[in-house]
Each structure stands twice: as C-alpha cells, then as structure tokens.
Amino acid sequence: MMMDKALVRRLSACETMGSATTICSDKTGTLTLNQMTIVEAYSGGQKIDPPDSKSQLPPILYSLLIEGIAQNTTGSVFVPEGGGDLEISGSPTEKAILGWAVKLGMNFDAVRSESSIIHVFPFNSEKKKGGVALQLPDSQVHIHWKGAAEIVLASCTEYIDASGNIVPLDQVKVSFFRNAIEDMAANEQQKTQWALPQDDLVLLAIVGIKDPCRPGVRDAVRLCQNAGVKVRMVTGDNPQTAKAIALECGILSSAEDAVEPYVIEGRVFRNYSDAEREKIAEKILADIGLSMGIQGTEVAKESSDIIILDDNFASVVKPEQCPAFCYNLMKRILYLENLELLGTVDTMLGKEPLITNIMWRNLLIQAAYQVSVLLVLNFRGRSLLGLEHETPQRANNVKNTLIFNAFVFCQIFNEFNARKPDEFNVFKGITKNHLFIAIVGITLVLQVIIIEFVGKFTSTVRLNWKQWLISAVIAFISWPLAAVGKLIPVPQTPLHKFFTRIFHRSARSPSKNHSPACSSSLS
C-alpha cells in the first residue's frame, strides 16, 4: 500500500476500507490541483474579456484595483535580477490574483511603495473577508477589502463604471454582479481599537478563480461509484462552487442531483434536530478518516487512519478496491461451503469423511459457477441488466441487490443438489421431508421481505419482476449443472488420504543431494 501512495496509520482501517460504502473527500488539493487561475473578471459594470485586458479598465479604476491587490495581500512578487519568470508566493488564491494583476501590468514593488499600511484586518474564515487601510502621500486613507464575492458585494453601495465615475450600485447592477458570481461558481484579532469601515464601499472588481480537477479524479470517482462506494466532497466554498466542482469530478451526475441533502451547508445541517441529522447522516458521513500528506494539515494527519501521500484522490481507490472484493468473495465462498456441509452432515457423521469426493465435486462445480456469475454481474452487470439509463447510484444499488438476491437463490436451489449429491433425482422423497420444505419456504419468504420491505436496513433496493426472474434463472441453472457434474467420475480414495500419502512418501524419500547417513559406536 505504500507503493500505492497510501500510508496506513491504523491497520484495522484496511479491513474497514475494504467494506467502505462512503468516502468523504476534501476538495482543494485532493479532487483539484490546487493551482488556481483567474478565468473570468467583472469590473467597471461589465465583463472583462479576456480577463487580463487592461484597455477595458478606466485609469482610476485600474489604479485603485492594482493598489488593493498589491497591498491587501500576504503574498509577494519577486523579480529575479538576471531576468526570467516572476516568482509569486502566497496562498493559491492570492497567487492567482497577484498573477492576474501582473498580467494587467502591475509593478508590485512600485505600487507597494506608493502608500503605507496603517491597519490590517486579517482574513477571517468566519466572515470570509480581510481588509487593509492605506495612508497615501496626500493624507488620504483608502480602505480595501477582499473576500467571498457575495460577502463583499453585499457591503457595496457604489461602483466605478466604464467611464471612471463613481455611481450608485442600483438593483439592476446588483443583480448583474450577483448573476456573474453564480455563473462563475457554476462553470480577528485587531491591533487597535479602531475598526475598518465595512459598509458603503465602492466595488472595484469581481473575479472568478478556477481550481481545475486533478487528472484521473473523474475516472477514480466513477470506479468507486461502480463498486457501490459513494463519494462525498467537503469544502468551505459556497454551494454554487461546490456544485460546479462536484459535477466536474463526477460526484454529482447531473444538476438535478444538486439538492439537499446531497448538497448541504454546515450551518443548515447544524440547525436540524437530532432525528433529522441522523436521517441525513447516512448520505454524507463516513467511518474512516483519510488525510492528504502534502496539503493536509498536521491536525488532519494525526487524526486520520490513512494518509494519501501524493494528495491524489485516485490513490484512494487502490487501497480500497482489492480488500473489498477479496473479502466479500471469500465470505460468499465460505457461506457456500457451509450450506453444502449442513445439507449432508446427518448422513456422513461416524461413517465417512465429512466432505466426500462426491461432495467436493458438487461443491467445486457450484462454487466455480457462482463465482463466475457473480464476477460477470459485478463488472458487467450495469450493461447486461440494461441499467445505463439509470443514475450511477441507482444502477449500482440495483446491480448489487440483484447479485445478493441471485446468490441467495443459488444457495436455496443448491440445497436440493446437496440432498442427493450422488443421484440424478434430487427431488426423491422430498414430500416426506417436511423440515426441509419448511426451511426452504421460510428462506424464500425472508428473502422477499429483505428485498421488498426492509431495504433501508439491509442496504438493498426493490427489484422488478424481470430482475426477480433473472435471479431465479441464474439459480435454476445450478440444477442441470449439478446433473452434468455427476457424470464426472471421482476416485474412491478420499482426497485427504491421497494428499496424506503424497506427503508421507515425500517425507520418507532420501534427499538426492545427500548420501545415506552412517553411524558407528565405540565400546
């Protein structure tokens, strides 16, 4: 697993991951590249296209915009003395904004020297904005805020138009900028007692920053969904941005799925009652903690069970898929063996080995058939069952339920084979075996109840009559298959004795590389 870029801190998490049904993943740096760039910009009451077109900005607006970007940041722009590419530091968001300003023609050091900072309001994750007060040479004071677009827009009462005039921000322009925010999303500790003004601001610009999805993330998400594992995304972005990224990564299949509770804000979830939270929790929570080794915080790493060393969501699939499949396959085979033993133990105790060669023949034939069918349904079931038109989640639920139903039906039908493992007529004397008939009947009734009425408890969905018929046909094939298998001769010597003889024979044989041992004694 280390070779697959997964560092396991708690070994038992591997088994749980192998049976995982939900994965909750952070967005930035995990599903995305954490390499943000400005892709859209709105300023002067209009869209700037391309976003780094300085000619579309009036001089006063350009001057104020550059001033705010250069001073209201914790990042920096370094120009190498010998030339070459600029080096921009800061958070991914700040690097994107500074890079955009450089393309607009900003001289970072020159702009910083034209004013002095007299007060800073550090960026606050709760208020989602940060500000700075600047002292200009002519004693003017400029206040610059930046943060979440909807938060800053709500604080503005004026904006600078395309002619460089400060004009009232009427409802029409508010709607224009608000629609721009939604469109882009879809594609405190103070040093003094003086507080920065937060109202009656003049809007300078709104920019759209996109953090592209990592290559391979969409395929990894689809692989998880095809395996019946739900993928959930946790992010601090606004719902519109979260929906856009979830759609791009394939976590949401369509815009129609982007509704509660599949898309829900933390504050909304916290306002629900305990009963409502418990109901919704099934759709959004997980049992295993995964953190990212590069971008993840130390707190997250310490509290997680598995650390993904390359910060790539695709690496989550590697440690998850193999244990799940092998573990579930092993349980199915063991269950099959147990049913075979229960069907014949009354006639074998005290006479012959518990599992005779005839039983081994039927067991191996049925196991090979059932495993083959289950493998085909698991990997090709969606197309074979005509579920392509269904949503990925619905298709996986139906496919997995049918696999479970077919498996149980195979065991029920195979109970008849186990009655007479060496005779062709497996129904001989069945009407006299009332206990057997009762067990089969009760099993069938319970299976119908499990599939049709208690699906929430058993994680199954209802099947239509065609899917029930498919399950029965798959199980029915075990009867003629068992009859054909009985034509295969088996040796009289029990298999365990055969292997025991081989073992003893090899143990008695002298080694080819050594001479017979000699001994002598002196008296």
Three-state SS at 472:
helix
CA–CA gap between residue 265 and residue 152 (Å, rounded)? 20
CA atoms within 13 A on the CB side of 104: 31
Other CB atoms closer than 10 Å to residue 138's CB: what's the count?
5
Given a contact cutoff of 8 angstroms between Cβ atoms, the answer to whether 203 and 161 are in contact is: no
Three-state SS at 85:
coil
Given a contact cutoff of 8 angstroms between Cβ atoms, the answer to whether 160 and 64 are in contact is: yes
Given a contact cutoff of 8 angstroms between Cβ atoms, the answer to whether 157 and 169 are in contact is: yes
> Distance of alpha carbon 356 from its chain centroid, rounded?
46
Place of tokens 């024979």: 505
* Beta strand spans in 75-194 (E): 76-78, 87-89, 116-124, 129-135, 141-147, 156-160, 166-168
Distance set, CA 46 to CA 297, 316, 487 (Å): 39, 43, 83
Q: Which of 4, 26, 109, 311 is catalytic?
A: 26
Given a contact cutoff of 8 angstroms between Cβ atoms, the answer to whether 130 and 72 are in contact is: yes
CA atoms within 13 A on the CB side of 483: 9
Other CB atoms closer than 10 Å to residue 468's CB: what's the count?
18
CA–CA gap between residue 326 and residue 495 (Å, rounded)? 26
Distance set, CA 143 to CA 113, 117, 121, 200, 483 (Å): 17, 10, 10, 11, 87
Which value, in Å, is the radius of gyration of the alpha carbons in the chain? 34
Residue 26 falls in the annotated catalytic set:
yes
**Token output for 54:** 């300085």
CA–CA gap between residue 71 and residue 146 (Å, rounded)? 11
Which has the closest alpha carbon to 5: 232, 220, 244?
220
- Residue 103 belongs to what H/E stretch? helix 92-104
Residues noted as catalytic? 26
